[in-house]
Amino acid sequence: MDSQFAQDSGSLQPQVSPFKTALTYGLYMGLGLMAFSLIMYMLAIPLDSKLHYVQYLIYFVVIWFGIKHHRDQDLGGYISYGRGLGCGTLIAGVAGIIMGIYTFILFKYIDPDLVNQIFAAQEKQMLDSGQSQEQVDKMINMSKGFMQPWMMGLIVVPTVIFSGFILSLIVSAVHKKEQPMFDAR
């Protein structure tokens, strides 16, 4: 067997690491999410606005093109489901690290009062759902320990990775293209 190829799910695929693609597209995704977050922040869009769900479009588009690039440019047009899932999750991992650092900087240096806006939005939401002021105060006080800039930055990383993993499950199924066992030449 040629050393350029590796056995992957029963088919021969070029032995190319997904890390370069993941780093490139993870950077695109991290910067895209950062830009989107800054635009929402500068436009003072409320934290509970449905407009924040647009960020998942950024996830989807970048993961879509990242896996497609890895399949078509790195692997000669073929990719297994697992390889696509791994590539998409790595993309999200790189973006998660970028977003974790950005979140820390945002809450520590750019706008330390932003955490109070989050508490106010949570309080309003809990009161609107019928909870008593005493219950709300207890919950807010418990949350304060987790709402430190460093903790928020740490929480963002697995959150972005998990969201990217879920989207990669779908995108990988669409992009999956196994190399034929016997090439008809």
Tens of pLDDT along the chain (185 residues)?
344 444 444 445 567 899 999 999 999 999 999 999 999 999 999 877 899 999 999 999 999 999 999 999 999 999 999 999 999 999 999 999 999 999 999 999 999 998 888 888 888 888 888 888 898 888 888 888 788 999 999 999 999 999 999 999 999 999 999 888 776 55
SS3 2: coil
pLDDT at residue 183, as a whole number: 64
d(CA 26, CA 63): 8
d(CA 121, CA 93): 29
pLDDT at residue 14, as a whole number: 60
pTM listed for this prediction: 0.84
d(CA 145, CA 66): 37
Residue 179 near residue 11 (C-beta atoms within 8 A):
yes
Residue 103 near residue 35 (C-beta atoms within 8 A):
no
User: Cα dist. 41→33, 76, 107, 111, 124 in Å?
Assistant: 12, 42, 12, 10, 20
pLDDT at residue 123, as a whole number: 86
pLDDT at residue 139, as a whole number: 87
Neighbours of 131 (CB within 10 A): 15
Nearest alpha-carbon partner for 148 in 111, 109, 101, 115: 115
d(CA 109, CA 19): 32
pLDDT at residue 173, as a whole number: 97
pLDDT at residue 137, as a whole number: 87
pLDDT at residue 102, as a whole number: 97
CA atoms within 13 A on the CB side of 161: 13
